[in-house]
Structure 1
Amino acid sequence: MEVKLDTIIFYVKDVQNLKIFYRDNFNLKIIEEDDIWVLLNAGNINIGLHKMGKEYAEKISSNKTNNNVKIVFEVTMPINDAREELISKGIKMKEIKTFENYNYWLCDGTDPEGNVFQLKKRK
């Protein structure tokens, strides 16, 4: 079987809030949307934001979805500038890091629901 990854879907509490977050901070294009769903284009892949069911949302006590997925955005500007731009908008960002024999700088942040995203820039 040959496949191509098309879309990653996040089940979220507030579709509209996260739509605005990803559209405004990462310039993602809205492909489609309705009351419980938004599909954003992120280059070679789409990101779907689907409203989670009420019974699941009630089990989450904090503002975190506790998932194990990280979205990685490769940036064209210097990673320090990208990080500072997001921090200036009140977005929580960690320090920039890299690994031995790895050709990228990395910096993690979190969206309004606690989902982790990463900025990536070639050295």
Structure 2
Amino acid sequence: MKTGLVIYTSSIEKLATFYAHVFDMQMIESDGSYALLVGGDFELVLLETEVSKKGLSAFEARENTALKPTFFVNTPLEFIEEKIKAKGGVVFSPKNWTFGGRQVCDAHDCEGNIFQLRIGNDG
């Protein structure tokens, strides 16, 4: 099954650059009001609307959201953390537990959207 996520943004270009850089996603199409990025069987749609530009103008980590996307990565935490920081995101201290055989770590993107990293090897 292919999966996807839609994120409303105040800056398509900034957020598209973040996710493309951090998770090696490819931008498939964009017209200034949206961008479609793809990585494997995952599609990320970024939408920029007047409402999202007004509502997201002040940066803050949005920890009280009902959803937390999870990205599975097979690279060391130090490597993915450098990529996240280079594009304006933040990685929180790794949690002291694993889930599904992977180390769990939360982070947020350059607009404050919280996501989870699950770090390990599929092999």
Structure-1-length-normalised TM-score: 0.76
Letter in structure 1 aligned against 2:95: K
Q: Which runs of 5+ in 1 are unaligned?
A: none
Q: Following the alignment from structure 2 to structure 1, what is the Cα–Cα distance between the partners of residues 16 and 83?
A: 19
1:58 aligns with 2:49: no
Q: Which amino acid aligns with 2:110?
A: P
Give unmatched runs, 5+ long, in structure 2.
none
- For residue 47 of structure 1, the aligned residue among 44, 47, 54 is 44
Q: For residues 5-53 of structure 1, what are the alpha-carbon distances to aligned partners after superposition, in whole Å with 9 as ceiling and x for unaligned?
A: 542111111111101111122210111111111001132120100003x
The 5-angstrom pairing of residues 34-113 of structure 1 reads 34-52=31-49, 54-60=50-56, 62-64=58-60, 66=62, 67-87=65-85, 90-99=88-97, 102-113=100-111
Larger radius of gyration: 1
Tell me how far apart the structure 2 counterparts of residues 101 and 119 of structure 1 sit (CA, whole Å): 11
Distance 1:85 1:112, change over 3 A: closer
Alignment root-mean-square deviation, CA: 2.7
Pairwise CA distance, 1:122: 3.0
How many pairs are equivalent? 119
Q: In the TM superposition, what is the alpha-carbon distance from 1:58 to its structure 2 partner?
A: 2.6
Identity %: 25
TM-score by length of 2: 0.76
